């Protein structure tokens, strides 16, 4: 079954958007990238799919891109969660070091 011209254009546009997203995502996995840069890339990725929602796409391509946007939102929430856990663990570790120092002082 061949695709109509509109379906072909829609498919081509969807592939281009996913390709741009893949390029952005690859930047997130570079070594020594700061969390602030990762948040910026997440915003760029989400903005890409926001723009896509206003483009003339077939229903199936629109659903595909909406699904990708939802996945990015979940990835972002997981990243925030990981950042929060790391921060809390760092605070707990610092507090334990303080307590160990106080304990050592009391033993003297």
- Residue 52 is part of a domain; what is its CATH number? 1.20.120
Model pTM greater than 0.85?
A: no
41-66 confidence digits (pLDDT tens): 999 999 999 999 899 999 999 999 99
- Of 108 and 91, which is predicted with more confidence? 91
Number of domains in the chain: 1
Helix (H) or strand (E) holding 53: none
pLDDT at 94 over 90: yes
Domain span at 89: 5-107
4-46 confidence digits (pLDDT tens): 888 999 999 999 999 999 999 999 988 889 999 999 999 999 9
The residue behind tokens 């160990």 is 100
């Amino acid at each position: 079954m061949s695709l109509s011209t509109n379906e072909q254009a829609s498919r081509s546009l969807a592939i281009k958007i996913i390709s741009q997203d893949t390029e952005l995502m690859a930047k997130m996995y570079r070594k020594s990238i700061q969390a602030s840069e990762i948040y910026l890339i997440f915003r760029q990725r989400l903005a890409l799919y926001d723009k896509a929602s206003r483009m003339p796409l077939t229903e199936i391509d629109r659903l595909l891109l909406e699904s990708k946007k939802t996945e990015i939102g979940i990835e972002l929430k997981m990243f925030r969660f990981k950042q929060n856990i790391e921060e809390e663990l760092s605070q707990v570790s610092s507090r334990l070091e303080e307590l160990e120092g106080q304990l050592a002082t009391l033993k003297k």
